[in-house]
Amino acid sequence: MTVKMALRVVELIELFAKEKQPLALSEMARLLEMPVSTCLGLLRTLEQRGYLYETGRRQGFYPTNRLLAMARVIAAHDPVLDRVKPALTELRNAAGETVVLGKLQPPGRVVYLDVVDAPQAIRYVAQAGETREAYANSLGRALLSVLKPEARHALLAAGRLERLTDTTLTEPDAIEREIDRSLARGWFANLGESVSDLAGFAWPLRINGESYAISVAGPRYRLEARAEEVAAMLRAACLSIERKN
């Protein structure tokens, strides 16, 4: 369920981030597939609140820095990221690959809460707020593993498990077996199941009674052979964070 007007505001912000330039009313209405009158009302409301300004007569609208200022205040007081960011950065430095913090989100998707980019030019690139299918994602499987078996089975059975690559597991029983193997060996893997040349390793952790997971992801040619080494780093990072609870 979505609230239509709230969704429109989010879509408008994302549109400016995509276009990276002032936009005229008619152009915004077209790109958002919104009636001009509705779009104008939304623009004027945000303008009155100080979030948008008109760059010049008939030159279009653009966000003010108030949006950035609010985002910085919110990010600076995130109760989870404030606790885990140093460990995520330390893990990125040790592994030399992109590190992601994620959480399970209905209906069976993983939302990326933070991404610490690898230093290499060729690396796994993602942004906080992006989501992925849990069944074909190392973070997702780590998070599925902490659910009660009946809840996990219901979640896997409820959705359509699409084949994203030639190696994607799409049968609930096969995913259950892979979760069991992952728990036994000490890491959850995605070896080309979501993107053919991508590898990721993950492990779950608890923060304030809630389940999260951390992954290390990167090009498969560089990361796959380092499974045990990276998994040890992952488990150590998760344990370090949990000890701070």
Mean pLDDT, residues 120-138 taken together: 95
Q: Token digits for 73?
A: 């205040």
Q: What is the pLDDT of residues 214-224, one digit of tens each?
A: 999 999 999 99
With a cut of 70, say whether residue 1 has pLDDT above it: no
* Interior/surface letters 30-58, b for 16+ CB within 10 angstroms, e for the rest: eebebeeeebeebbeebeeeebbeeeeee
Domain definitions of the chain by residue range: 4-69, 78-242
Options 3.90.1150.10, 3.40.50.150, 3.40.50.300, 1.10.10.10; which CATH number does 4-69 get? 1.10.10.10
Is 3.20.20.70 the CATH number for 78-242?
no
pLDDT in tens, 81-108: 888 999 999 999 999 999 999 999 988 9
Arithmetic mean of pLDDT, 128-142? 95
Q: What pLDDT sits at residue 107? A: 85
pLDDT at 3 over 80: no
pTM: 0.84
